[in-house]
């Protein structure tokens, strides 16, 4: 009985500064097909167990890298803005880079 109570309490998400429950935030490697060695894997973000709909345009990134450091830095900024927008849309509120960094470490956003 005590173990059941402890399990239930441990599954309750923490509260944010406004008193709202935080959401589970996970970064996982996931296979792209039945055979990860052949099909490859991807790094994906999950919020409350649901995969975030976000992908980096690798070709665009590589083109920026070939053009030089200034283009690469600008492309990285664009990717960061797009990622923040995607996480914000998934949560239904605006988030910051710092919140995402903290969530990556703590597992809650």
The model's pLDDT over 45-79, given as tens digits with 9 standing for 90+, comes to 999 999 999 988 889 999 999 999 999 999 999 99
Domain residue ranges in the chain: 2-106
Average pLDDT over residues 6-25: 81
Record the pTM. 0.79
Distances (CA, A) of 51 to 5, 28, 42, 89: 29, 10, 12, 13
Which stretches does DSSP call E strand in the chain? 25-31, 41-47, 50-51
23-37 pLDDT, tens digit per residue, is 999 999 988 899 988
What distance in Å separates the CA atoms of residue 23 and residue 102, rounded to the nearest whole number?
13
Residue 65 · residue 79 · CB < 8 Å: no
């Amino acid at each position: 009985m005590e173990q059941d109570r402890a399990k239930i309490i441990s599954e309750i998400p923490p509260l944010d500064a406004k008193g709202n429950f935080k959401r589970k935030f996970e970064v996982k490697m996931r296979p792209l097909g039945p055979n990860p060695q052949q099909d490859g894997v991807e790094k994906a973000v999950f919020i409350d167990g649901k995969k975030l709909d976000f992908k980096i345009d690798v070709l665009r990134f590589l083109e920026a890298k070939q053009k030089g450091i200034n283009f690469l830095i600008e492309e990285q900024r664009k990717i960061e803005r797009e990622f923040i927008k995607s996480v914000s849309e998934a949560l239904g509120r605006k988030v910051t880079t710092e919140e995402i960094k903290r969530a990556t470490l703590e597992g809650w956003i």
